[in-house]
Every structure is written in C-alpha cells, then in structure tokens.
C-alpha cells in the first residue's frame, strides 16, 4: 500500500502540470517536461522502486508523451558520464588487486601507533584513493571499512561494552573523512559531475579536473586536519596505544608480495592523475580521453576483466541514473527552463543583503536542508538548481557561489549517519550510538562550513579564480 501511495504522488505531479497553464514566459513543452523532472526527483526521494527504474520510467513517459527521446537521451552520450564510468574501472582494480589494502597497511605501519593517528591514517588513505573512486561507498565501505573493522577487533573493541575502546571512533571517522574527500576532486564522487553540470548551466562556471582540485583540495585538507580531532574529542576512545607494526605485518603477510598487476595499476593511477591535471596548465588533453585510456590499459593488462565491471553494480547504477538526470536537465536547459527560472527569481525575489551575505545564507541553508536527504544525487538534482538560481538572481559572484555549493553538497552529508551510502553500512556494524555520531557530524558540518569561507575565499583570490 505504501508503494502505491508513493507512486500515486509521483505520477500526480506530471499529470497536474500537463493540464495546467504554464507560467508566463514558459512554453507548454518546458512546463510539462519540468513535471516529468519533478516526478524523477520525487522518485529519488520516496524510492518506491530503485532509482534506476524510476528514472527509466520517467524517461519512457517523457519520450512517449512529449516525443523527445532524442533530447532526453543525450545524457548517455555525455563525456562527463563516460569519464566517471571509466574512472570506476580504476576503483574496481584497486579492490581486486589489493593495492588499496596494501597502501593502507603501509600507512598504518608508518603512522598508526595510536588510535588518533589511525584516524589520520584513514583520512590519508581515503584522500589517496579518492581521485580514482567515483563511488565513495566503494572507497569508504568497500576498501577502508573492512580494514578499520579488523583494526577495531585487533585491539579488543567489539560492538557493545568494548565499542568505546577505539572501534566506535575508528569506524565513525571512516565515514566523516569520506564526506570531506568527496568534494576535493571531480572524480571523488559521481554526483560531483552532475553538480558541476548544473553550476555550468546556471552560473557559467566551467572547470577542468585540475581546476576543481586546485580550488577545493586546500579547503578540504584543512578540514581533514580537524575531522579526526573532533571525532576523537566526542567519542573519547579508552584505548590509546596500538601495536601498529603487528597489525601492518599481519595484513601485508595476508596480501603476500606485491603483484605485477598492483605495480601496473600504481603507474596507471599516477599517469591518470597527471593527465587529468595537465589541462589546468594549458595542455589540451581531454579528461574523458585520459580516463578511457586508463580503463583500456587495466583491461588489456588483465588487471580486471569485463566480467569484473559487469558484476560491479555501482558502475551500471551510476550509468542509468546519471545519464537520465543529465539528459532531463539538458532538455530543460534547451527548453530555456532555467533561463526562465532565473528571470522569474530576479523579478519576484529580492534578498536585500550584500552578495557575500546571500552566499553565506544560502550555503548555510544548503547544509541544514541536507539533513533531509539520504542521497547526494537526490539533493543535487532537486535543490542545487534552486539554490544556484536564487543566488544568481541576487547578484552573487558566480565562481565563489559555485565552488561553495559544490563543497556543501558533500560535507552537508556529515550531519547524519544516513547522509550518504557508506553511513548506514558503517553504522550498522553496531559500534556507534546516534548521539555521538550526530553530535560529531553536526559540529563538523558547521566547522567545515566556516572553514570553507575562512580558507576558501583567500585561497580562491590568491589563485585568481575570484577578484
């Protein structure tokens, strides 16, 4: 019954918009297409079926009733989508070869002698892996979580009475750091590309992979300094010292000697990072081409097989939802919906504040409202165009505003344990209590918001992105 009610709500929206007169200045086609788009967003939030099925249904309905299949399927031909899919191959390779685990154990041996230091090891490992793992679930829950779980158990920390010995902090910290690294690189989270697409369409700001990293990596690094400290302060682990040498030795012994596949992957990963960064210094090289070449190498060298990609659900789930939303938003742009919305906002909404204050207000609201969403995708698709349009109508600096919203989408998910897919997986281990998690997450979200402006604005000015 609940599923039927959710479906009824989703279907009702495009039906209502179909039979109502569009606002002045907006065509019937754009208005009706907007109805299908809203139906898709509601589907992402209500989830009566998996989001991929909902979005395919929306595409089908739009194609049938608006005869616009060609316009709404362009998302599947997007170079940005194919860059993400290609980058997923590196993520799959990190998991299959064990290179990610090997790097982790070397970091633990070098730096993980205390529980707090292990928090920074997790942050460093997530940071290293983030440029090549568009799924933060694969990164935080697939690679890092099992390592953190084994560390917790090795110090005698289990769910229940011994959780506070260190396991609760180690696991919770694993989620917090991935919410920071997720905005530091374009390829660190698949929805980043969708967010940048909206930012480009509405504000005119376009960025290469290197420009994104240059702008947002420094604020992210500063935030990462505080993440383990806040979690440690809130959680107060009972255990302090760690036998990191034994932990690392046992882990590396299980992995065995470094394989040829790991060595090849390490070289491919480094070369891919260089290739993605080169356009920022004037070298005309497509980021998508770099990703496709990297994917081809990991296939041809036998590091992963096609079956490995086929069996990785995240790859194809991303392909379906990303292409669908990108196609619908592109069709809305072509129908001049966002242009109309900007004009409408300028005419009817007056935020009587300075542009900087408007950015502060809207970004703070974006962090707070992220509390309602369990998906970055749903948040970006439903709220980001609204915030961007309101901000542009108020005369904000488009570059600063775009960068701020690209970051708040990710770290806004700190507020709750369900703010992104890795959260429920890590929380379900049973180590953490809701009070500590939400307290630490709330403090970190506020602190990250403050640091974004304190560090970001001077940095963006220094590198010449804002005046």
Does residue 89 sit in the same domain as residue 4? no
Mean pLDDT for the stretch of residues 353-365: 89
326 has pLDDT over 90: no
Write down which residue in 254, 283, 313 finishes a domain.
Answer: 313
pLDDT band at 217 (very low <50, low <70, confident <90, very high): very high
Does residue 62 sit in the same domain as residue 85? no
Best-predicted range by mean pLDDT among 70-79, 152-161, 263-272, 387-396? 263-272
Does residue 60 sit in the same domain as residue 124? no
Q: How far apart are the first and last CA of the chain?
A: 55
Best-predicted range by mean pLDDT among 125-139, 183-197, 447-461? 447-461
Tell me the C-alpha distance between 392 and 384, whole Å. 12
Tell me the C-alpha distance between 244 and 107, whole Å. 10
224 has pLDDT over 90: yes
Residue pLDDT, tens place only, 144-195: 999 999 899 888 899 998 999 999 999 999 999 999 999 999 999 988 998 9
Residue 349's pLDDT is 63
Mean pLDDT for the stretch of residues 10-22: 94
Residue 170's pLDDT is 95
Asked, for residue 329, whether it belongs to a domain, the answer is no
Does residue 193 sit in the same domain as residue 302? yes
Tell me the C-alpha distance between 270 and 437, whole Å. 35
CA dihedral (206, 73, 7, 374) positive or negative: negative
Residue 31's pLDDT is 95
| Contact residues for 457 (Cβ-Cβ < 8 A; gap 6+) | 400, 466
Tell me the C-alpha distance between 264 and 365, whole Å. 45
Mean pLDDT for the stretch of residues 246-260: 93
Tell me the C-alpha distance between 121 and 123, whole Å. 5
Does residue 62 sit in the same domain as residue 84? no
Structurally, the chain folds into a number of domains equal to 2
pLDDT band at 239 (very low <50, low <70, confident <90, very high): confident
Asked, for residue 320, whether it belongs to a domain, the answer is no
314 has pLDDT over 90: no
346 has pLDDT over 70: no
Asked, for residue 25, whether it belongs to a domain, the answer is yes
The two three-digit tokens of residue 114, written as one number: 């205390």
Dihedral, CA of residue 209, residue 214, residue 219 and residue 222, to nearest 10: 110
Give the rounded distance of the alpha carbon of 225 from its chain centre.
20
Three-state DSSP class for residue 241: strand
Does residue 117 sit in the same domain as residue 259? yes
Residue with tokens 């829950």: 141
Does residue 97 sit in the same domain as residue 216? yes
Residue pLDDT, tens place only, 82-108: 988 898 899 899 889 999 999 999 999
Range of the domain at 146: 79-199+208-313
DSSP string, 382-448: HHHHHHHHHHHHTT--HHHHHHHHHHHHHHGGGGSTTSSTHHHHHHTTS---HHHHHHHHHHHHHHH
Q: Give the global pTM.
A: 0.85
Mean pLDDT for the stretch of residues 29-35: 94
Asked, for residue 243, whether it belongs to a domain, the answer is yes
pLDDT band at 81 (very low <50, low <70, confident <90, very high): confident
Least confident piece of the model among 12-21, 218-227, 374-383: 374-383
Does residue 100 sit in the same domain as residue 130? yes
Residue 351's pLDDT is 65
Residue 144's pLDDT is 92
Closest alpha carbon to 258 in 420, 102, 437: 102
Asked, for residue 98, whether it belongs to a domain, the answer is yes
Mean pLDDT for the stretch of residues 441-466: 95
Residue 228's pLDDT is 96
Asked, for residue 162, whether it belongs to a domain, the answer is yes
Asked, for residue 446, whether it belongs to a domain, the answer is no
Write down which residue in 270, 289, 313 finishes a domain.
Answer: 313
* Phi, psi (rounded to 5 degrees) for 241: -80, 145
9 has pLDDT over 80: yes
Least confident piece of the model among 36-40, 172-176, 221-225, 258-262: 36-40
Does residue 146 sit in the same domain as residue 249? yes
Asked, for residue 189, whether it belongs to a domain, the answer is yes
Closest alpha carbon to 85 in 330, 328, 323: 323
Does residue 172 sit in the same domain as residue 269? yes
350 has pLDDT over 70: no
* Phi, psi (rounded to 5 degrees) for 392: -65, -35
Q: How many CB atoms sit inside 10 A of residue 280's CB?
A: 15
306 has pLDDT over 80: yes
Write down which residue in 270, 295, 313 finishes a domain.
Answer: 313
Beta bridge partners of 241: 114
Percent of the chain with pLDDT over 70: 99
Tell me the C-alpha distance between 358 and 394, whole Å. 7
Residue 394's pLDDT is 83
432 has pLDDT over 80: yes
Closest alpha carbon to 429 in 43, 210, 140: 140
Residue 262's pLDDT is 95
340 has pLDDT over 70: yes
Give the rounded distance of the alpha carbon of 224 from its chain centre.
16
Least confident piece of the model among 152-161, 204-213, 262-271, 280-289: 280-289
For the chain, the average pLDDT equals: 90
**Structural contact between residues 130 and 182, judged by C-beta atoms closer than 8 angstroms:** yes
Residue 268's pLDDT is 95
Least confident piece of the model among 200-209, 290-299, 410-419, 440-449: 410-419
The two three-digit tokens of residue 457, written as one number: 């604005």
Tell me the C-alpha distance between 150 and 146, whole Å. 6
Does residue 249 sit in the same domain as residue 106? yes
381 has pLDDT over 90: no
Residue 400's pLDDT is 94
Residue 210's pLDDT is 92
Does residue 60 sit in the same domain as residue 173? no
Closest alpha carbon to 325 in 108, 73, 104, 118: 73
């Amino acid at each position: 019954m609940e599923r039927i009610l959710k479906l009824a709500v989703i279907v009702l929206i495009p039906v209502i918009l179909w039979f109502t007169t569009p606002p002045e200045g907006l065509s019937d086609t754009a208005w009706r297409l907007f109805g299908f788009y809203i139906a898709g967003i509601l589907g992402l939030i209500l989830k009566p079926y998996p989001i991929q099925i909902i979005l395919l249904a929306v595409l089908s309905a739009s194609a049938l009733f608006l005869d616009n299949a060609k316009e709404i399927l362009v998302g599947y031909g997007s170079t940005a989508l194919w860059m993400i899919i290609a980058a997923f191959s590196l993520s799959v390779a990190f998991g299959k070869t064990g290179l990610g685990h090997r790097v982790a154990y070397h970091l633990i041996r070098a730096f993980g002698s205390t529980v707090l230091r292990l928090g920074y090891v997790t942050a460093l490992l997530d940071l290293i892996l983030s440029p090549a793992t568009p799924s933060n679930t694969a990164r935080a829950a697939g690679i890092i979580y099992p390592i953190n779980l084994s560390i917790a158990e090795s110090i005698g920390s289990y769910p229940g009475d011994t959780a506070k010995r260190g396991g609760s902090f180690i696991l919770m910290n694993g989620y917090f750091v991935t919410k920071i690294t997720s905005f530091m690189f374009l390829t660190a989270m698949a929805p980043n590309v969708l967010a940048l697409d909206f930012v480009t369409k509405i504000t005119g700001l376009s960025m290469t992979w290197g420009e994104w990293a240059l702008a947002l990596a420094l604020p992210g690094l500063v935030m990462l300094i505080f993440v383990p400290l806040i979690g440690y302060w809130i959680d107060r682990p009972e255990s302090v010292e760690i036998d990191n040498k034994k932990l690392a030795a046992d882990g590396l012994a299980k992995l065995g000697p470094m394989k040829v596949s790991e060595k090849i992957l390490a070289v491919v990963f480094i070369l891919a990072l260089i290739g993605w960064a080169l356009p920022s210094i004037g070298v005309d090289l497509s980021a998508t081409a770099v990703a496709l070449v990297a994917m081809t190498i990991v296939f041809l060298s036998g590091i992963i097989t096609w079956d490995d990609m086929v069996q990785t659900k995240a790859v194809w789930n991303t392909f379906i939802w990303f292409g669908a939303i990108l196609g619908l938003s592109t069709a809305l742009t072509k129908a001049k919906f966002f242009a109309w919305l900007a004009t409408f906002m300028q005419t009817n909404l007056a935020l009587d504040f300075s542009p900087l204050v408007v950015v502060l207000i809207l970004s703070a609201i974006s962090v707070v409202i992220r509390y309602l969403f369990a998906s970055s995708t749903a948040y970006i698709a439903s709220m980001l165009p609204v915030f961007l349009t309101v901000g542009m109508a108020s005369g904000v600096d488009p570059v600063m505003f775009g960068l701020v919203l690209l970051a708040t989408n990710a770290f806004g998910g700190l507020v709750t344990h369900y703010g992104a897919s890795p959260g429920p997986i890590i929380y379900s281990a049973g180590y953490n209590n809701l009070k500590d998690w939400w307290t630490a997450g709330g403090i970190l979200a506020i602190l990250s918001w403050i640091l974004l402006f304190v560090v970001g604005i001077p940095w963006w000015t220094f590198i010449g992105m804002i005046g």
